[in-house]
Amino acid sequence: MIEVQEFITRRNKLYDKLKDNSVLILFAGVSVKRSADETYPFTINKNFYYLTGIEQEGSILVVSKQDKAINESLFISEYDEVKEKWTGKRLRVDEAKKKSGINNIFYLNTFQSEINTIITRKKIGVERISTIYLDLEPQNMLDNFKTTKDYLEIFELNYPWVTVLNIYNEIIRLRMVKSSAEVEELKDAISKTNIGLKQILKNLKPGKYEYQLSSLFYYTIQDNDHSELSFPTICASGVNATCLHYPNASSKIADGDLVLFDLGSQNNYYCGDISRTYPANGKFSQRQKDIYNLVLATNKLVAESVRPGVTLKELNDIATKNLAEGLLKLGLIENESEVRKYYFHSIGHHLGLDTHDPSIREEPLVSGNVITDEPGLYIKELGIGIRIEDDILVTDDGSYVLSGKIIKEIDDIEKAMESI
Ligand code: GLY
Ligand code: MN
Ligand code: MN
């Protein structure tokens, strides 16, 4: 669990970046309409959660910095007995204080007037608010019609002396460097993912349908700890695995197929993201072994290359070169430039509260970053798609593979499938 003190520390780091005479407004978001009166399950805005520890939809954080003094307030929905009877318990003021470490808790129906007061207030000897910070990430929905961009227009219209700035990058910079508590959260997410993968190894065999394995993974992580998926599970057999984000999971698994799993369990919102590729019948053919071992060697080479100072692009170049040389040796391409035919994504991404954790991709890695290492080869003509994905912590002097316990050697996989 992330302790409340850590949410406070994160906020203070962000507040150091705010200009004086400014106000920061961040939104938790709302659930989005699905059909008729049904909504998609609510997912908290992760920038909001990262800073507040609050998970309740509709909540708003307002922070003013004037004369260097910080004043923070959290707005939550009003207590409503009837609503609670229909849709369950909402946060009480005391709970919101305890979870966030914010002392001033208000109800949402006072938000508009409070904001107006803060922005227009003139105090003797104190300058008026001249900057408003919003998280202007695209598609940041505040309801079914409004995004933070609409707020930008409203503020610029109502308060013409104010400049609206985007706080997104400052929050992302904080999120990119994980604390030791966050690394523990990620380790737990990965362990939970491994519990699901072990069930898959026990149950995978020809004749099963892909969806039986993807639903087994979901059942297992739910059964274990009521955990949620990091993202919809990819279970792709044979040629289906040559589609990177194969969405259907509807095919019958054939004898002799490889089956690619790309999946993850969350742990307190922190996301595991692991790919493994297993032989449906428990044994790799020689052809499959050759291609699998090339992807595995690339995965290991990249892991060894991760250290502070290196960029994701450089890691991708290392992976691409190794895959190209290997494909050439296997006679699958005639010159190295053809590698993109079979490896057409990138080596990885930052990982955290989001699976594709927001990041400034071009920046060299620093200690505390967590990234994925996910080379793959997708050879349609052979009906083979292989991806091996690990989650890696950048340390002061190199890296640590957080998913090192999840088996990936051919012998280990075959042994695990044999002992069924
Ligand atoms: N599961 C999506 C990815 O690996 O990036
Ligand atoms: Mn993945
Ligand atoms: Mn990934």
Per-residue pLDDT reduced to its tens digit, 167-185: 999 999 999 999 999 999 9
Q: State which ligand 1 atom lies nearest to the alpha carbon of 348.
A: 5
CB-based contacts of 191, cutoff 8 Å, min separation 6: 405
The pLDDT tens digits for 210-251 are: 999 999 999 999 999 999 999 999 999 999 999 999 998 999
Give residue 152's pLDDT band: very low, low, confident or very high (50, 70, 90): confident
Give residue 8's pLDDT band: very low, low, confident or very high (50, 70, 90): very high
Give residue 142's pLDDT band: very low, low, confident or very high (50, 70, 90): confident
The pLDDT tens digits for 204-216 are: 999 999 999 999 9
Where does ligand 1 bind, in terms of residues with CB under 6 Å?
231, 262, 273, 349, 355, 374, 389
3-state secondary structure 199-222: HHHHHCCCCCEHHHHHHHHHHHHH
Q: State which ligand 1 atom lies nearest to the alpha carbon of 387.
A: 4
Nearest to 57 by CA among 79, 77, 86: 77
Neighbours of ion ligand 2 (CB under 5 A): 262, 273, 389
Share of residues in the chain with pLDDT > 70 (%): 99
Given this model, what pLDDT does residue 151 score? 82
Give residue 144's pLDDT band: very low, low, confident or very high (50, 70, 90): low
Q: From the CB of residue 173, how many other CB atoms can be counted at a distance below 10 Å?
A: 16
Q: Are the C-beta atoms of residues 392 and 401 closer than 8 Å to each other?
A: yes
From atom 3 of ligand 1, which residue's Cα is the shortest distance away?
273
- Residue 400 scores a pLDDT above 90: yes
Residue type, 19: K
- Residue 420 scores a pLDDT above 70: no
Given this model, what pLDDT does residue 273 score? 98
Question: Chain-wide mean pLDDT for the chain?
Answer: 95
